Chain A
Amino acid sequence: MSQPGIPASGGSLTGPQAQNGAASASGSSYTNGPIQNALLSAQGYNSQLPGSYSHLLPAKTLNPVSGQSNYGGSQTVTPLNNYQGPGQTLHRPPVASNAVTPSLHSGPVPRMPQHASQNPAATPMPSGGFHPGANVPPPLNWQYNYPSTGSQTNHYPRVSTGPTMSGNTNLTSHQYVSSGDPSLQNNFIKSGITPSTNNGSMMVHNRYDEIEGGGFLATPQLTDKNPTMSRSVGYSYPSLPPGYQNTQPPSTTGMPPSSLSYPSGPQAFTQNSLGANHLTASMSGLSLHPDGLRVINLLHERNMLPSTPLQPPVPNLHEDIQRLNCNPELFRCTLTSIPQTQALLNKAKLPLGLLLHPFKDLMQLPVVTSSTIVRCRSCRTYINPFVSFLDQRRWKCNLCYQVNDVPEEFMYNPLTRAYGEPHRRPEVQNATIEFMAPSEYMLRPPQPPVYLFVFDVSHNAIETGYLNSVCQSLLDNLDLLPGNTRTKIGFITFDSTIHFYSLQEGLSQPQMLIVSDIEDIFIPMPENLLVNLNESKELVQDLLKTLPQMFAKTLETQSALGPALQAAFKLMSPTGGRMSVFQTQLPNLGVGALKPREEPNQRSSAKEIHLTPSTDFYKKLALDCSGQQVAVDLFLLSGQYSDLASLGCISRYSAGSVYYYPSYHHQHNPVQVQKLQKELHRYLTRKIGFEAVMRIRCTKGLSIHTFHGNFFVRSTDLLSLPNVNPDAGYAVQMSVEESLTDTQLVSFQSALLYTSSKGERRIRVHTLCLPVVSNLNEVFLGADVQAISGLLANMAVDRSVTASLSDARDALVNAVIDSLSAYRSSVLSSHQPGLMVPFSLRLFPLFVLALLKQKSFQTGTNARLDERIFAMCQVKNQPLVYLMLTTHPNLYRVDNLSDEGALNINDRTIPQPPILQLSVEKLSRDGAFLMDAGSVLMLWIGKNCGQNFLSQVLGVQSYASIPQTMTDLPDLDTPESARTIAFISWLREQRPFFPILYIIRDESPMKANFLQNMVEDRTESAFSYYEFLLHIQQQVNK
């Protein structure tokens, strides 16, 4: 297993061969596509002992043991042993292919196309898919529609057009576009046919690969391997104008506009020019935005907020590299110019860290299927656009500088069908790429998607009436749950006892089993509690229909959440999966019972509030869950205090998510009901990755300091994520351990290995490359103020938990003061009066002030403890974009929308009103203002708002007739209405969840929320923006 020890070349042929035989057998079964997965993987399972699954994932090499850490291992082992999996034989992916190269490389490039025809002859294939025969696409298709001619305007239609798929089978089969788009995924599920065509065709391919790969390794006829070993695709580009960066509809930014225009000339090793060696030239020609060099006196220039959404700064890199760089929405760094030494970083007083959104839904994602995933021999980095090719046969890792061999099959480029162009391969052309992982990356066969729902059915829960709407949502979305034929589902309800439901196929109706012994919980029957969704769908539907009524008359008020969670954990631990827990009150029975700790009269003081859990029961259970690949998502619908600080641990350490609906009631709070429905829909239908781990690697010299987010940190750079969802963001604090003087570029790579809901093991890799600078001024110039604020917010949450809230608030303010004084004393030569800030940090004080007024960190009596803790959970778990929107919402004036400067997307005109400062002075009584706070939209109507707007957009006669709770705009046939609705729906489309629109007039209860977001204004307990600036100036100039 000692990975570094295994020579990459032929030496290890015999070992891997034997293993490969097995692996390829089972491997083909995995990759065979979802349809046959149940069957085949069972086969695969039998064919190998669980322990012999060869190794997994972004294993860090230097240490054999961690490589083995078989955390979630097979169920036969006790959880503790699982962590080490000592006796396993683990293998690195077969590198053996190198050994065989001599025989094949005699063939010159032009020979390659022939391989395609040779292959099928050599290996009997279930589908003739590859053969240029009857049902085979013309070779052009085989090129994945990549512009082989060098044309750069290739658009591949999104594959998500389900119905056309069947017609396209061949096309798609060679296409490998499987984008991360949720709609696509949903399509897979929605129309039972679509997946089969698409995946079926994929299966053909994988199978081909596998057969070939297997045969290749096991038999001496190796020559055929090259042409097909690795294919990538999905070179489809959004049909937006090149300048889309300015307009940025999120859907199109999924992928960096990178490789599209890669020079298509025969430059054999252009890559070298991207390597560190040649950077000096490019660095000197840096083209900073002239604005970027300005020093700003914030006290004089008050209106610094740009009127368009703030764009992340562009790293100061050579354009060739920057073109390939990772999309900032997925991966961004607080400092786009990395300081050379820790001393320099300390001097700048800015936090260094990464903000990731690794599993974001992407419109376009190149997916590579290859038997050999090319990785660095020593640090296991995946090959990426920022490596340098020393010559045709060797590449130098950009993280550890190890020189590696280019495997034989990597020499062939499936896109151009040219041989000897390793630097043109998709892996080297895309900073974001997904690999289909071979069986070496599995510790056990990919798990089926398993969903377990745990409902609170105590009296309190029934009172809120949530069960109705949840069951209804579930019924509606049952067919949309991501999964395949292996999907399993189960239900548990609990009050003071635990109720299980047997959904055995053949039963006429679900059978309820009650376990009242909550002290020593057991599973009443070994099977049929988690059932195959397809086989027992009717029973499941039956249950969901009857469940709300079943407990209608319950008088049981106690809630045994702890035992219920234990039961659910026991039920799921053999497979892993997702547990969705609905809880409506403080658990008060059995293990994990909690006591109310909130003291309302103490809310105002920032001290002595209970942000830490009161028991470690939930944390320990979460760790057990994490070990068994179970993630717990908590839906808390509670009117009273429910100690989210303790309960939240169950999700936090098992990589789940927390949803909170304060004072949920089906009648009294219709807005929350709608919110729950919308969020539940998204929750149930969004993409999901099971048994995931994420490793973050960075160039030698940098090291990871702390992780932020929902997960369990398994080793210094490895996160264990039993489930990964596309709405989760992560943050990482970094430090500079060794000086980076001898390098000009650093790279960060995150590799997320997960099992898709289709039962495929996949690795999503993002690589970010940034320049190193030695000058403090440049560090400041490259600062990314949004990322910095996001990271500071994460750090402040930690601080408030470990120390206190006031400590965290002070730390936030000090962060601004320290960095600005550092700037003043070290960069500015002349000490002018005023508050001088670099252009890049011009919004820093504003964002920090917004953070101080955010629910997590605000002082004052209006934050309930649970809401505050929920806000903190959100800070930790949200991707940066949404975190920034909740912290500093965008304010637009919408009563005078015009088409001037409007966007045009798909024949829709979307007006683009300027973003206003968050100050009441920007509001006026005769206007209407829309505040976009990420998860909510608030439309404030001024008292004297124009009659025109009221009647044409709101469809009401007068201001007084605006309903008290209005959450929808009527669809009126007026241009004003069309514009407003177009704008709002455009805002909504940009995010995966559905922000609810509140229409607020003066007397509305929501008005306080609206005004609370006016962060530039003074509140009873907080500074106004100007006062804050004065305070900072005072401290800075000390």
Chain B
Amino acid sequence: DSHIQYERVGADVTMKCGSMDWDAAVTWTANGTDIDESHLNGSYLILKNVDLSQSGQYSCYEGSSWHLKYQTYLKVGTPPKEPVLMCRSNNYPKGFYCSWHLPTPTYIPNTFNISVIHGTKDMVCEKDAVPKNRCHIRYLQLFSTVKYKVTLTVTNALGKNYTAVTFDEFAIVKPDPPESVVAKPVPNNPRRLEVSWQNPSSWPDPESFPLKFFLRYRPLILDQWQHVELSDGTSHTITDAYAGKEYIIQVAAKDNDIGTWSDWSVAVHATPWTEEPKHLTTEAQITETTSTSTSSFMAPPTTKICDKGAVVGSGAVAVCWTAGLVVAAYSVLFI
């Protein structure tokens, strides 16, 4: 007969060779490898202070005949710690889901049991096939002030533990991030970027349950974000972008009335439209490239020394117009 034996990390384990007497001559193997006699007490196998690496198949053979007398699978593990449980509604008003995990692995199989109570009413949380540690519930009532209590119990062969969360219907509403975020330059507008996105596909009824959005953007060269909150629509034009600078842009969503903000969407990058560089520049362009920015943030001075349009020459001899002018001015002085 094959058995499974669960033992805690650090425990001392004694294995009997089935019905063999204590003084019988036996050989023990672990995963097919003979175990040294120093671990035997008579025919008993003694494993002290077991660790995870000692999990495996242990077999006991009668000394002379090599008949298999006993076999067991030793699984070394730990009792479960308090599980981490989270519930969220990303598809309001259809329902919500709860997901859980253990803070540290137990290394042995665990069973999870979840119960949901709304007031005094028991509700069934249907387990998802994928991922395994998740279940979902359909709302039977909306707009209730009565709280939900979700209790999760985790059990394994070495012990059990549990946790519970209590919340009201509105508090757990958190949409998924907006999808398909696109940012494009606007032709002939060096300071604009057009951003558009879509409602998360998991949000079932954006018409009756509209979302509002939060846009954040910054040039890659700066750390500070600009923020814009938008109460409707799924597009926005940024009008204060730094000319020629690559931007990173993200969007988040929230139900108009309840719940919390989604995580940030996947980031998109875009650079505002710039004019094609010309070989000869006019006085007006020199003035434009050397004037100070009118935005609320000032770019670090080093990024403003050489704007694309002010460079003359090519290869190793490219010289900025502004630097060139200064040099020319000094040259004139010394002629």
Q: Say if A and B assemble together.
A: no
